[in-house]
Chains A and B, each alone.
Chain A
């Protein structure tokens, strides 16, 4: 696609429900990143993939958070038993090559999650 696409753009869910956030990276991009951004803060790293392999999940806050990218393209970030503190903007980014970050990452518009 032309850019990184995330869906849904907005999600309101009740506390305790599970949510799945989707990221469709730029076609052919190898690396895919998930970030979370609270209001007034910068994006905070959650996890990333090279192809289908999850390389680093050190930023996932707890075991309610998980991510997958089974075919090395679309990725899903799942939050189980959501809590109000999970409310944030969830951003996905993709890069065309692996290796260190000496190339730019392209961000999607994000999914605004609100847990009520």
Chain B
């Protein structure tokens, strides 16, 4: 039972263009969502998060959008840079529950 789904295993984007990574969830109790970025041989590192009371959160080149009715969130990176090439994991948690549920990840490749 995959409660957090990232249906695109990989994505290639030209440098300078926008990268859009998508994530869907099924558990309506989830109220906090995070994106983690992972380079090879390293642990995941936190990138950006959003609470369910918001529909958008922006941090520099990174913006996360949340559509609660569709149970969908997306991460926008603009402009994309070669250093953004990594695996991106979407994760979610429910109020009062400290565990994170992760998606399977999307490998983003930025083409110079």
Contact = CB atoms under 8 A, between A and B. Distances in A.
Interface residues of B, number: 28
Nearest to A47: B99
A99 B97 CA distance: 8
Nearest to B42: A109
Contacts of A93: 43
A41 B51 contact: no
Contacts, number: 73
B89 to A, nearest CB: 5
Given A42-B6, A45-B100, A107-B45, 20 more contacts: A33-B99, A33-B100, A40-B9, A40-B104, A41-B104, A41-B105, A56-B98, A91-B43, A98-B98, A99-B98, A101-B93, A101-B99, A102-B32, A104-B46, A104-B49, A105-B100, A107-B43, A108-B43, A109-B43, A110-B43
